[in-house]
Structure 1
């Protein structure tokens, strides 16, 4: 594939916003968290991805898995990325992209404690029609765009099932 036909590895802000709109769900139950989490584990195992996976609704952790090769650092990254989604209501990757589009970085301009917040890809809002953002789904262990895209792929499969 030539460079001219290769898809852009960094999605645009408009593409990231469209993902969030497209992946709004009609409901999200405890059983749905198990189904989505299990789907993410399956994807990670197929790719031998050393990731940790976390799904939360409100303040409650509904699903967590740590696959071979993941470390406690992945759980710390999950917490930092999740806090960005909870604060901004958008995916951690989109938040970081918006800062980069302003020719700065989240780290330089957010004024938030970087030990508690990280606008790196991998955490995505769980949005339910009529309720707004009710939780998060987060993957940590791969480069940030790969973490983000794994969550998007799983949400697309979940929504279409």
Structure 2
């Protein structure tokens, strides 16, 4: 199996964000998507916290066994990255790493407030923009990101 380069990973992440757009996003969508994430995580015995927001309103939150309050702090930091850059926290982090940059050095943000680590994914509606964020925290960053992508694909019925 070939090793994925930084450029390949970034291209895949960008493609995921182009593919995984919503026609609308309401409270029922947040509940369905959050429930999917909880089901996936519970089935796999994953110690994660799940958070879904539209704008500044938290529409869904679950803390599964093994997760801690620290996961909520990570969620808040990842969400801020998506809100600021309109891209997944993982994509922002991988773009920075590929250039040898860090979020705090390049943008002057406090690492206590922002985390460019995988797990927060934008809820994007065409011709509107980013309207919300779906976040998972508790696994290695690539796994947090992959779990969110898997659930969004199932919710949107795409792959």
If the TM-score is normalised by the length of the shorter chain, which range does it land in? over 0.9
Choose the corresponding residue for 2:88, options 83, 91, 110: 91
CA distance in 2, matches of 1:147, 1:67: 14
CA distance in 2, matches of 1:48, 1:82: 24
Q: CA deviation at 1:8?
A: 3.2
Q: How does 1:1-161 map to 2 (within 5 A)?
A: 5=1, 8=4, 12-160=9-157
Q: Which runs of 5+ in 1 are unaligned?
A: none
CA distance in 2, matches of 1:103, 1:61: 34
CA distance in 2, matches of 1:153, 1:95: 19
Question: Structure 1: which 4+ aligned runs deviate by more than 3 Å?
Answer: 6-11
CA RMSD of aligned residues (A): 1.5
CA distance in 2, matches of 1:75, 1:60: 15
Q: Which runs of 5+ in 2 are unaligned?
A: none
Q: How many residues align?
A: 157
